[in-house]
Amino acid sequence: MCGLLGLVCPSENDAQAARAAVAGALRCQRHRGPDESGTWQGGAAVFGFNRLSIIDLERSHQPLHWGPPGAEQRYTILFNGEIYNYLELRAELTERYGARFATDGDTEAIVAAYHHLGPSMVGRLRGMFAFLIWDSERGVLFGARDPFGIKPLFYAAGPRGVAFSSEKKSLLELGPTLGITPGLDRTALQHYLVLQYVPEPETLHTSVRRIESGTSFTLAPGGALTTERYFPATFRPRPVPTEADANRLYREIADVLRDSVAKHMRADVTVGAFLSGGIDSTAIAALAKQHNPDLITFTTGFERPGYSEVDVAAETAAAIGVKHVVRTVSAQEMMESLPLIVWYLDDPVADPALVPLWFIAREARQHVKVVLSGEGSDELFGGYTIYREPLSLAPFEKVPGSLRKAMGRVSTRIPEGVRGKDLLRRGALTLEQRYYGNARIFRDDQLSQVLRTFNPHVSHMDVTAQPYRESSGWDPVTRMQHVDLFTWLRGDILVKADKMTMANSLELRVPFLDPEVFRVAAQIPSEQKLTRETTKYALRQALREIVPPHVLNRRKLGFPVPIRDWLKDEMHDWARGIVQQSQTDALLDKAGVLRLLEEHRSGVLDHSRRIWALLVFMLWHGIFVEQRIRPHVPEPLYPVKV
């Protein structure tokens, strides 16, 4: 787990001149890899790297050079992430091709596989990754990002080169070197205020984009970037007609999870686990303990009833026999830390859960260097309650289209907060119109009241169109899962997981998001995902012998944050101050924003998530556009308690 920065210039002379700029831009992502740092220039390429040492601590330095006998320096690689099947891959490359290795790490396995297998090797990797390989013989850059988008990879192209980075901040620093001046992307801003994240491949800066998940790419100096999606994430549900078939499916799920966790435990440092109290993190922790009897788990909570899983997590930790660490977060701490957290984010994410995640990651880093977590289970196994919506809205499907449209018009006349309004509105819409992920912050009618640059021609359907095209003919639940894989998961869940842990130089691993786990999960039919009583039915059945009974059928809260209450009380004046000081008048109607804040305080409507989204953007704007807010970024130093 590290931070990479690579630049391909039009010529070798340009690259030599840019090396100092790359070294400078690398510093703002030092938190991603505080163990060692270095730059390299060869031909038209300049590489920079910050390393967090996890595997083969004394070697596997980067940028790493590799090549076949007689051309040992042909390839240079930058690699952020972990390859969990690297031992098997190294053994295969040695046996079949006589590959030679100078280290015991996973980085060499990637570049050797590229040499012997070509670009298709990315389909052989089980792991989380973003990497760049410079082929000095051909003068070509090849790179890829992992299937689910666990590891980030930004890029920016200008007249003086194309740069790739683990953090957007580094590309903003390199703007003058590239010959670009990124501005604010107003379409991306509108998407953010609807979805609570900026969807791939966009960022909030023009000229800076992201390599999408499951994509590889090639670049030659002076040429265009060509991309290829190598992982389509196709669901193929199969019937489970008998009890014997169902039991076989449950065993297959349990076996593939055991294998995934075993491989995710490979490290030369201590591995811990996050424990929220739900079935996903509990399953990961229970399986991890089989490989580390001294496993430490971590959870966070708040001193407010209904907003904490601390007690359940502690009970779970005792049941599976692990040491447990708790970090409680106050409203004051959230207010004080939020500007720094937004700086780490690069782009705003309006998910309040990322704040306690940052705090528990900071606590965990004092004990371990790697943690396992349960992200991805809901998307793969059908864990969100909204996936039941097609069942509740099924009667609307029988209503003629003209009548459904009339029902939608009627819903607009019902006052906000009245029971049934949203059901009627959503029942009047098709699946493609109504479902765009788990977060729905602003509707268009609400957004037009606060966003001065509101464009009625910009729609969430611009973001979801491709996943819906790819899933045409699938059942509604599976289509919703597919949409979430390419929107919510990689836009919110994995961004906050990567950014908040790496802010604390902590590596987070997600065993559910493994190609082999997906292969099994993709075969589960809808009736094995959702029942009237529960979500993730097949997964729960598979985990009966793994997780404690009190967790098996419990609904997960995650890391809920009491902003609904705090924005009425402790955080009200703080929030008002952010709005008044923000220099976003050309973008937002600040009077409208303040009106939302007062309506929320008086209890007229719950605007907490909308207010939070606006506050996070205003802080982001103050940091990255106005440059009025300058958070103090601490040095990544971690005294270990154990």
User: Which residues belong to CATH 3.40.50.620 in the chain?
Assistant: 243-383+492-552
Judge if pTM exceeds 0.85.
yes
* Per-residue confidence (pLDDT) for residue 557, from 0 to 100: 59
CATH T-level topology, domain 243-383+492-552: Rossmann fold (3.40.50)
What single letter denotes the amino acid at residue 493? I
Q: For residue 298, what are the β-bridge partners?
A: 274, 325
Q: For residue 145, what are the β-bridge partners?
A: 130
List per-block mean pLDDT (blocks of 10 residues) for the chain, which spans 642 residues: 93 97 96 95 97 90 94 96 97 96 96 97 97 97 98 97 98 97 97 98 97 97 94 94 97 98 96 93 97 96 75 91 94 96 98 96 96 97 93 79 77 79 82 88 94 96 96 96 97 98 97 98 96 94 94 71 95 98 98 97 95 98 97 79 52
* Per-residue confidence (pLDDT) for residue 12, from 0 to 100: 96
CA distance 48 to 6: 6
Residue 2 is a catalytic residue:
yes
* Per-residue confidence (pLDDT) for residue 559, from 0 to 100: 62
Q: Are 77 and 66 in contact (CB under 8 A)?
A: yes
* Per-residue confidence (pLDDT) for residue 376, from 0 to 100: 97
Residues belonging to the binding site for ATP are: 373-374
Instruction: Single out the residue of 517, 518, 535 nearest to residue 527, CA to CA.
Output: 535
Catalytic residue among 1, 2, 345, 510: 2
Instruction: Single out the residue of 358, 396, 370, 356 nearest to residue 561, CA to CA.
Output: 356
Cis peptide before 239 (omega within 30 of 0): no
Residues belonging to the binding site are: 106, 373-374
* Per-residue confidence (pLDDT) for residue 638, from 0 to 100: 63
User: Which residues belong to CATH 3.60.20.10 in the chain?
Assistant: 2-229
Cis peptide before 241 (omega within 30 of 0): no
Residues belonging to the binding site for L-glutamine are: 106
Query: What architecture is domain 2-229?
Result: 4-Layer Sandwich (3.60)
Sheet holding 507-509, edge to edge: 323-328, 296-301, 271-274, 370-372, 507-509
Half-sphere exposure of residue 18: CA atoms within 13 angstroms, side-chain side: 34
Q: For residue 254, what are the β-bridge partners?
A: none
Q: CB under 8 Å to 427, separation ≥6 — which residues? A: 393, 395, 396, 404, 407
